[in-house]
Structure 1
């Protein structure tokens, strides 16, 4: 059951995002979709998620425009639906890469990274970076969040 945001939280982009993405399974489904999986059975097999939880999370992702349902039919089978990332879903890539990098740094397993971000055109490694308007790269510890125009007045 999803709790509604308070009027204070509703102005916060992070709180609004977490209302949709804040469940563990939700981001893991997006991770699998970014890896090319689209079918219910694929998500279920890869994640070991309970069917009711998977159905709920897929519904939430569709409802909020992160995935879209598309009909498909295998030869000799009945029509089924697959779940395909939308542009909004693909734009979650940096969020997942940031979590991947943070987890590798602050929650290491001793086995190395389970995934590596690469340029699809070249296969070469890529990394996330903050880039200033003048093109200069800025270290994460030199970045701060300041009040934006949509912030609640003090």
Structure 2
């Protein structure tokens, strides 16, 4: 029997990270969400502003609607046919901290020498907003190495198949 990380004893079949990435992990998904968070809600505007291929955008929007992250809302400009724009649901708004965390990481490692193209600020006081780790008792965790994983209530033992 080989030794290794304790995580090897637990199945990854019901991993919520894997399930989340099945929805959000495609390259364009957070670009679409970035646009909607920034108030760009109409298909043609999203496509034009982000340069996402039409079919890819159509597929991403359909998935985000299917997963109840976005909802379609009809609108009609005068003299035009009825169309839809895309609005965040509560489930979608809950992704905002993830978008901020991705932006923080990108700002730190990938920004142009002049700095990031967008900053997040607190509407009430105008101070910058950043993602932080905090425990349930309210302690700020400044070093990711100070966080450890533990077995959760939904963990299932890893079953080794007879074949291998």
| Length-normalised TM-score, structure 2 | 0.82
Moved over 6 A (4+): none
Q: Residue 120 of structure 2 corresponds to which residue in structure 1?
A: 117
Relative distance call for 1:81 and 1:9 in structure 2 (3 A) is: farther
Cα distance change, pair 99–83 in 1 and its aligned pair in 2 (3 A)? same
Choose from 146, 151, 155 the match for 1:151. 155
Q: What's the counterpart of residue 161 of structure 2?
A: none
| CA distance in 2: counterparts of 1:139 and 1:149, whole angstroms | 26
Tell me how far apart the structure 2 counterparts of residues 49 and 68 of structure 1 sit (CA, whole Å): 20
Pairwise CA distance, 1:132: 2.5
| TM-score normalised per structure 1 | 0.87
Distance 1:87 1:10 in 2: 27
Pair 1:38 & 2:32 matched: no
Please list, as runs of the form range in 1=range in 2, the aligned pairs for 1:22-101 lying within 5 A after superposition.
22-101=25-104
Distance, in Å, in 1 between the alignment partners of 2:12 and 2:40 is: 33
C-alpha separation in 2, matches of 1:10 and 1:61: 23
Distance (whole Å) between structure 2 residues aligned to residue 29 and residue 10 of structure 1: 28
Q: 1:112 to 1:59 in 2, by over 3 A?
A: same
Bigger RCO (CA 8 Å, 6+ sep): 2
Q: Match of 2:84, SS?
A: strand
After superposition, what is the alpha-carbon deviation per residue over 1:65-92, rounded to whole angstroms, capped at 9, x for unaligned?
1100111111222111111111111111
* Structure 2 spans left out of the alignment, 5+ residues: 1-10, 159-164
Please give the alpha-carbon distance, in whole angstroms, between the structure 1 residues aligned to 2:79 and 2:138: 55
Deviation of 1:9 after TM superposition, in Å, equals 4.4
Mapped partners of 1:41, 1:9: distance in 2:
39
RMSD: 1.6
Greater Cα radius of gyration, structure 1 or 2:
2
